[in-house]
Amino acid sequence: MRNADVAVVGAGFGGLATALRLAELGANVVLCETLRYPGGCASTFTKSGYQFEAGATLFSGIGEGQLFSDWNRRWKLGLQFETLDPIVELRTDLWSLAIPPDPEEFLRRFCELPGADPAAIRRFFKTQRDVAGALWKLFDDPSLLPPLSGTSILRHLSRTPSYTPVLRWIRRSLSDVVAHHHLDDWEPLLIYLDAVSQITVQAKASDAEAPFAMAAVDYFFRGTGHVHGGIGQLAWALVDAIQSAGGHVSLANRVKGIHREDGGWRLETRKGDIRARKIVANILPQTLGKMVTPSLNGALQDVERAVEDGWGAAMLYFAVDGDAPHSDTAHHLQLINDREAPLNEGNHVFCSVSSAKETDRAPDGQRTVTASTHVPMKVLQRLSPVEQGKYIESIQARMRETIQRRAPELWTGLKFEATASPRTFERFTGRHLGYVGGVPRRVGLRHYRPRALLPREADRGLYTVGDSVLLGQSTLAVALGGVRTAEVIAKRDT
């Protein structure tokens, strides 16, 4: 029987960040993960001699002074972070936009798109950046995130004028902001905002809560780039950091049950029982609820409902001739087949292409590509198992069509292909039914309630972290939520 101050369940980035911060603060922490490797939804896996990202994704938090950059330096992780140019290339049938890391250059290019009104566009992005600037301060200085100390409350109050632009747009959609600037009939902006919102706040612009969506539009310019070797390199480096800080990481160790005993908790795991005074669960609430006894009695029902209103993903993992991509560097493509159709179900495909220098990720002369598209889970779950299979196959066929039309250089160099569905993703990551991406940030006040902004305690001494619980979808947001949860636990123990 192993004893611990805190047991962390799940080595996604929320669990990794929680465990590392707890270990830094002197806690005896044990991190258990079902898979043989860390990272969860943001991991790198090997198949048939190729290394793929679990999901096509951008990665943030590597800018100077940001969380992962600080950890890389503090723990001598030896990671190579790469700033990309362009960060993403958005392609449609009529126009394309290569998004550079410099926001002013981005704005100049945007104003050159067909039918642009440069003055109106600049006014819109001025509004967007005012809101984004206020909210990104919370990510740049995590001490300002809830729960707040007396000092941080005073700092918040001193910044009140900077939050004024945020307050104006609460309970309004991103499309409302576009209409306010008389740009609601200019297709390039509408498509761009829908595309960005779909991969960040998980909702189209007409549904997305404006402050969150406007902050997400700045995502490309806030320490976003590439981890050489794949995002799994960062996950493994954080495992090493946890162990260097005195924590214990147990991979391939599924937690089978969580039981309250003697004022603490007992974890029943594949490798034996663990007793802990507190637990942090980096798993979806539907999975957690099945593990815990006595029952949580609906303590996370609101999160469960929000998750079930979200998305799954259909995936294509493939390899191409190393000379096929137009760039030798790692890069990302957002491909839209039909500009008038919804940006899901294969009509909108996000591709992450490995660098030619990442020679360990594919056989000589080849490169890997991870491609994903959103699948509406409410539609999928209404179907029978046989119908689900046909539905996913039709989506993957549409993905291939979109790639062939918008990025033919990838498909003509095809060397290897594998597919995945939400069911595959559930088996691969342990995510309930294959849900991905966190809770959609649709219009509403629920995003501002204390339970959405504070570390969540499902039961006494049982905390939850992850993309469905605290701070939101990106790897950086999930990790910062883990850090704040760890600090709350440590403070309550002193």
pLDDT tens, position by position, 336-357: 999 999 999 999 999 999 999 9
Quick one: pLDDT band at residue 403, thresholds 50, 70, 90? very high
Residue 314's nearest CA partner among 367, 391, 368 is: 391
Q: Tell me which residue has tokens 């779909």.
A: 198
The pLDDT tens digits of the residues spanning 55-86 come to 767 888 888 888 999 999 999 999 999 989 99
* Average pLDDT of the chain to the nearest whole number: 91
pLDDT above 80: residue 448: no
Evaluate whether 292 touches 258 at the Cβ level (below 8 Å): yes
Q: Give the tokens for residue 388.
A: 């689900």
For helices 475-493 and 118-140, give the axis angle rounded to 10 degrees.
30
pLDDT above 80: residue 480: yes
pLDDT at 463: 94
> Which position has the higher pLDDT, 297 or 208?
208
Domains plus CATH for the chain?
2-42+228-306+438-493 (3.50.50.60), 102-218 (no CATH)
pLDDT above 90: residue 138: no
pLDDT at 336: 98
pLDDT above 60: residue 148: no
Quick one: pLDDT band at residue 278, thresholds 50, 70, 90? very high
pLDDT at 109: 97
Q: Give the tokens for residue 489.
A: 């636990």
pLDDT at 1: 80
How many whole angstroms separate alpha carbon 376 and alpha carbon 350? Answer: 16
Quick one: pLDDT band at residue 431, thresholds 50, 70, 90? confident
* Alpha carbon distances (Å) from 384 to 35, 387, 390, 397, 441: 29, 5, 10, 20, 29
pLDDT at 494: 57
Residue percentage of the chain with pLDDT more than 90: 71
pLDDT at 305: 86
pLDDT above 60: residue 99: yes
List the beta bridge partners of residue 226: 82
* Alpha carbon distances (Å) from 10 to 25, 252, 284, 421: 20, 11, 10, 21
pLDDT above 80: residue 108: yes
Quick one: pLDDT band at residue 369, thresholds 50, 70, 90? very high
Quick one: pLDDT band at residue 269, thresholds 50, 70, 90? very high
pLDDT above 70: residue 119: yes
pLDDT above 60: residue 488: yes
pLDDT at 165: 85
Return the minimum-mean-pLDDT range out of 43-57, 119-133, 378-392, 445-459.
Answer: 445-459
pLDDT at 141: 67
The pLDDT tens digits of the residues spanning 226-252 come to 999 999 999 999 999 999 999 999 999
pLDDT at 153: 55
> Which position has the higher pLDDT, 102 or 426?
102
pLDDT at 331: 93
Burial-class residue 101 by CB neighbours within 10 Å (0-12, 13-18, 19+): middle
The pLDDT tens digits of the residues spanning 165-174 come to 888 999 999 9
